Structure 1
Amino acid sequence: MCGIAGWVSFESDLTGRQVVVDAMTETMACRGPDARGTYVREHVALGHRRLAVIDLPGGSQPMVAATGGGQLAIVYSGEAYNYRELRARLRGLGHSFRTDSDTEVVLRGYLEWGEGVVNRLNGMYAFAIWDQQADKLVLVRDRMGIKPLYIYPTPDGLLFGSEPKAILANPLAPAVVDADGLRELFAFTKAPGWALWKGMSELLPGTVMTVDRRGIRQRTYWRLTARAHHDDTERTVTRVRDLLTDIVDRQLVADVPRCVLLSGGLDSSALTGLAARQLARRGERLRTFAVDFVNQEENFVPDEIRDTPDSPFVRDVARSVGSEHRDVVLNPAELSDLSVRRAVIGARDIPLGLGDMDSSLYLLFRAIRERSTVALSGESADEVFGGYRWFHDGTALRAETFPWLAFSSTLTLESRWDIVDPGLRARLDLPAYVADQYATAIAEVDHLPGESDLERRMRTVCHLHLTRFVRQLLDRKDRMSMAVGLEVRVPFCDHRLVEYVYNAPWELKTFDGREKSLLRAAAKHVLPRSVVDRVKSPYPSTQDPGYAANLQQHVKERLADHDSPLFHLLDREWLLRAVEEDSARMAPQVRIGLDRAIDIGTWLDLYSPELQWN
Structure 2
Amino acid sequence: MCGITGWVGFARDLTSERATLEAMTATLRDRGPDSGDTWLDQHAGLGHRRLAVIDIEGGAQPMTADTPDGQVVLTYSGEVYNYVELRAELRRRGHAFRTASDTEVVLRAYLEWGDALVDRLNGMYAFAIWDTRVQRLLLVRDRLGVKPLYLYRTADGVLFGSEPKAILANPLAKRAIGLTGLRELFAYSKTPGEAVWAGMRELKPGRLAIMDRSGLRERAYWRLEAAPHEDSTEETGERIRELLDDIMRRQLVSDVPQCVLLSGGLDSSALTGLAARHIDPLRTFAVDFVGQTDNFTADVLQDSPDAPFVKDVAEHVGTTHTDIVLDHATLADPEVRRAAVAARDVPIGLGDMDNSLYLLSKAVREHSTVAVSGESADEVFGGYWWFHDPGIQRGGMYPWVSGPGGQQSTGRPLLREELREQLDIGAFLADGYAEVLAESPVLDSEDEHERRMRRISYAHLTRFLPYMLDRKDRMSMAVGLEVRVPFCDHRLVEYVFNAPWSMKTHDGREKSLLRSAVLDVIPRSVAERRKSPYPSTQELKYVLALQEQVEELLNDLSNPTFNIIDASWAREIVSREPGSLNRVDRLFTERLLDIAAWLGIHRLDLHLT
| TM-score for the superposition, normalised by structure 1 | 0.98
Q: Which of 375, 380, 387 is matched with 2:376 structurally? A: 380
User: How much has 1:278 moved relative to structure 2?
Assistant: 2.0
Secondary structure in 1 aligned to 2:73? strand
Aligned to 1:358: 354
Contact 2:382 2:510 in 1 (8 A): yes
Secondary structure in 2 aligned to 1:297? coil
User: Structure 1 stretches (4+) deviating beyond 3 angstroms?
Assistant: 409-414
In structure 2, how many angstroms separate the alpha carbons of the residues matched to 1:50 and 1:71? 21
Aligned to 2:159: 159
User: Is residue 435 of structure 1 aligned with residue 430 of structure 2?
Assistant: yes
Aligned to 2:131: 131
User: Is residue 344 of structure 1 aligned with residue 343 of structure 2?
Assistant: no
Aligned to 2:504: 509
Contact 1:208 1:220 in 2 (8 A): yes
User: Is residue 463 of structure 1 aligned with residue 458 of structure 2?
Assistant: yes
Equivalenced residues, count? 609
Q: Which of 296, 317, 323 is matched with 1:321 structurally? A: 317
In structure 2, how many angstroms separate the alpha carbons of the residues matched to 1:382 and 1:591? 24
Q: 1:470 corresponds to which letter in structure 2? A: L
Q: Which of 567, 570, 584 is matched with 1:572 structurally? A: 567
> What are the Cα deviations for residues 425-452 of structure 1, in whole angstroms up to 9, with x where unaligned?
1111222211221121111111111211
User: Is residue 293 of structure 1 aligned with residue 289 of structure 2?
Assistant: yes
User: How much has 1:413 moved relative to structure 2?
Assistant: 5.4
Secondary structure in 2 aligned to 1:299? coil
Aligned to 1:608: 603
Q: 1:564 corresponds to which letter in structure 2? A: N
In structure 1, how many angstroms separate the alpha carbons of the residues matched to 2:432 and 2:99? 46
Secondary structure in 2 aligned to 1:562? coil
Q: 1:150 corresponds to which letter in structure 2? A: Y
Q: 1:467 corresponds to which letter in structure 2? A: T
In the alignment, structure 2 segments of 5+ residues that lack a partner are none
Q: Which of 539, 547, 554 is matched with 1:552 structurally? A: 547
Structure 1, 47-56 or 393-402: larger mean CA deviation: 393-402
User: Is residue 312 of structure 1 aligned with residue 293 of structure 2?
Assistant: no
Q: 1:296 corresponds to which letter in structure 2? A: Q
Q: 2:273 corresponds to which letter in structure 1? A: G
Matches for 1:58-69 after TM superposition, within 5 Å = 58-69=58-69
Aligned to 1:245: 245
Q: Which of 373, 391, 397 is matched with 1:395 structurally? A: 391
User: How much has 1:411 moved relative to structure 2?
Assistant: 3.7
Instruction: Indicate the percent of aligned positions where both proteins have the same amino acid.
Output: 58
User: Is residue 525 of structure 1 aligned with residue 559 of structure 2?
Assistant: no
User: How much has 1:492 moved relative to structure 2?
Assistant: 0.1
Contact 1:189 1:437 in 2 (8 A): no
Aligned to 1:228: 228
Q: 1:455 corresponds to which letter in structure 2? A: E
Aligned to 1:97: 97
User: Is residue 487 of structure 1 aligned with residue 482 of structure 2?
Assistant: yes
Contact 2:189 2:467 in 1 (8 A): no
User: Is residue 107 of structure 1 aligned with residue 91 of structure 2?
Assistant: no
User: How much has 1:277 moved relative to structure 2?
Assistant: 1.5
Secondary structure in 1 aligned to 2:286? strand
In structure 2, how many angstroms separate the alpha carbons of the residues matched to 1:564 and 1:345? 18
In structure 1, how many angstroms separate the alpha carbons of the residues matched to 2:479 and 2:374? 19
Q: 1:184 to 1:260 in 2, by over 3 A?
A: same
User: How much has 1:409 moved relative to structure 2?
Assistant: 7.7
In structure 2, how many angstroms separate the alpha carbons of the residues matched to 1:33 and 1:450? 52
In structure 2, how many angstroms separate the alpha carbons of the residues matched to 1:410 and 1:68? 58
In structure 2, how many angstroms separate the alpha carbons of the residues matched to 1:432 and 1:468? 16
Structure 1, 571-580 or 421-430: larger mean CA deviation: 421-430
Q: 1:443 to 1:53 in 2, by over 3 A?
A: same
Secondary structure in 1 aligned to 2:128? strand
In structure 2, how many angstroms separate the alpha carbons of the residues matched to 1:188 and 1:233? 34
Q: Which of 551, 558, 580 is matched with 1:585 structurally? A: 580
Contact 2:349 2:471 in 1 (8 A): no
In structure 1, how many angstroms separate the alpha carbons of the residues matched to 2:462 and 2:580? 36
Structure 1, 433-442 or 529-538: larger mean CA deviation: 433-442
> What are the Cα deviations for residues 90-135 of structure 1, in whole angstroms up to 9, with x where unaligned?
0000000000000000000000000100100000000000011111
Q: 2:195 corresponds to which letter in structure 1? A: A
Contact 1:353 1:592 in 2 (8 A): no
Aligned to 1:219: 219
User: How much has 1:68 moved relative to structure 2?
Assistant: 2.4
User: How much has 1:410 moved relative to structure 2?
Assistant: 8.3
Contact 1:406 1:412 in 2 (8 A): no
Q: 1:572 corresponds to which letter in structure 2? A: A
In structure 2, how many angstroms separate the alpha carbons of the residues matched to 1:414 and 1:508? 33
| Cα RMSD, aligned residues only | 0.9
Structure 1, 443-452 or 549-558: larger mean CA deviation: 443-452
Contact 2:187 2:409 in 1 (8 A): no
In structure 1, how many angstroms separate the alpha carbons of the residues matched to 2:553 and 2:141? 39
Aligned to 1:263: 263
User: How much has 1:584 moved relative to structure 2?
Assistant: 2.1
Matches for 1:187-198 after TM superposition, within 5 Å = 187-198=187-198
